């Protein structure tokens, strides 16, 4: 019998905790609604614009890497054909294209973007005044 009383107390405490948590969550939602009056809570659920922006940025970064590797391979292949130094031109320029692609991806990923999705002119510059 003592176990039943303890279980009832735990159940009642759990219900009051859940009710208090729900009330706090509602108050937080109302407070956020006042902070951002133009946006409804439904807009934040899926965030399709943010997802599309992330996919676009990821596609751009991956295409920069692939393009650099392909350009390096094409230059290496052309040098192999012209100078007859096969496979060395392809090997050297393929690796060089990969290195340039990684540098471009790191640089593009580190650059902040403005609201239009383009990099700002002065953000990528690291000027020091001595």
Question: Tens digits of per-residue pLDDT, 68-90?
Answer: 999 999 999 999 999 999 999 99
> What is the H or E stretch that residue 16 is in?
helix 2-35
Between vectors from CA 84 to CA 83 and to CA 85, what angle results, nearest 5°? 95
Residue-level pLDDT at 15? 81
Residue-level pLDDT at 52? 80
Question: Tens digits of per-residue pLDDT, 47-62?
Answer: 666 678 888 999 999 9
How many H-runs (helices) and E-runs (strands) does the chain carry? Answer: 4, 0
Does residue 113 sit in helix, strand or coil?
Answer: strand
Percentage of the chain with pLDDT > 90?
41
Residue-level pLDDT at 74? 97
User: Could you tell me if 101 and 64 are in contact, meaning their C-beta atoms sit under 8 angstroms apart?
Assistant: yes
Sign of CA pseudo-dihedral 21, 24, 29, 32: negative
Confidence band for 130, pLDDT divided at 50, 70 and 90: very low
């Amino acid at each position: 019998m003592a176990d039943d009383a303890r279980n009832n107390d735990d159940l009642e405490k759990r219900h009051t905790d859940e009710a208090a948590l729900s009330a706090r969550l509602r108050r937080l939602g109302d407070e956020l609604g006042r902070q951002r009056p133009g946006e409804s809570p439904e807009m934040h659920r899926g965030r399709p614009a943010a997802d599309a922006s992330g996919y676009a940025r990821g596609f751009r970064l991956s295409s920069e890497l692939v393009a650099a590797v392909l350009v390096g391979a094409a230059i290496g292949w052309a040098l192999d054909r012209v100078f007859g130094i096969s496979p060395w031109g392809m090997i050297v320029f393929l690796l060089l294209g990969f290195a340039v692609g990684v540098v471009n991806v790191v640089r593009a990923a580190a650059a902040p973007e403005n609201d239009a999705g383009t990099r700002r002119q002065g953000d990528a510059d690291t000027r020091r005044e001595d």
